[in-house]
């Protein structure tokens, strides 16, 4: 299952914080599917076939800080017993804009969506596809500095890199499904 993080509502649709949602939406479109509202899961949910394998796709309709509510429900619904089979697609302040990296487990890098998921699953062993959005220019690294940056849309210059990164991140999710997270890390983390 791939879960793209973001915030619901049109005011956030093009923000840096919604790159994960953009990726799962693109994946659904690539495979002739669409995400549909699932009240029980607090998410938009769809399923696609990738290289003969079933891929559940979801975009939580909770706000980012409560992503774990939806993810916990989705993990139960789709019978995911090994949290390593869960792929979270997220924005990442600690990567340059447009850079895509794959990670298996590990730290949360101060990402509130990831923190919520860990709190609800009691496990941080899920895989991540991280899309760089860079830090806000001219800011020191203090709590709260990045809020305006992540919730605003990228500049026109950044948007070109972001569009490529969203497509690359979708490719990375498919790569994880077909070849495994280690192979995806070897490939995408060397680009």
Closest CA to 20 of 68, 59, 48, 55: 59
Phi, psi of 35 (to 5 degrees): -85, 135
Residue of 17, 42, 111, 175 marked active site: 17
**Tokens standing for residue 107:** 């730290």
CA distance 87 to 131: 13
Token digits for 116?
A: 């919520």
Residues 184 and 175 sit within 8 Å (Cβ to Cβ): yes
Q: How many CB atoms sit inside 10 A of residue 159's CB?
A: 14
Rg (the chain; Cα; Å): 15
Active site residue 17: yes
Residues 6 or more apart whose Cβ sits within 8 Å of residue 76: none
User: Using CA atoms, how far apart are residues 99 and 7, in angstroms rounded to an integer?
Assistant: 21
User: Would you name the residues annotated as active-site residues?
Assistant: 17
């Amino acid at each position: 299952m791939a879960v793209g993080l973001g915030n619901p509502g049109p005011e956030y649709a093009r923000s840096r914080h919604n790159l994960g949602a953009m990726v799962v939406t693109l994946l659904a479109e690539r495979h002739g599917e669409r995400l549909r509202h699932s009240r029980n899961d607090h998410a938009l949910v769809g399923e696609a076939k990738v290289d003969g394998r079933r891929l559940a796709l979801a975009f939580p309709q909770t706000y980012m800080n409560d992503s774990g509510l939806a993810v916990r429900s989705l993990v139960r619904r789709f019978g995911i017993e090994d949290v390593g089979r869960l792929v979270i697609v997220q924005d990442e302040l600690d990567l340059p804009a447009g850079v895509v990296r794959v990670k298996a487990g590990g730290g949360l890098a101060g990402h509130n969506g990831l923190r919520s998921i860990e709190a609800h699953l009691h496990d941080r062993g899920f895989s991540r596809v991280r899309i760089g959005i860079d830090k806000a220019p001219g800011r020191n690294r203090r709590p709260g500095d990045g809020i305006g940056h992540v919730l605003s849309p990228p500049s026109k210059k950044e948007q070109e890199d972001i569009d490529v990164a969203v497509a690359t991140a979708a490719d990375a999710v498919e790569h994880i499904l077909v070849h495994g997270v280690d192979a995806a890390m070897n490939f995408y983390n060397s680009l």
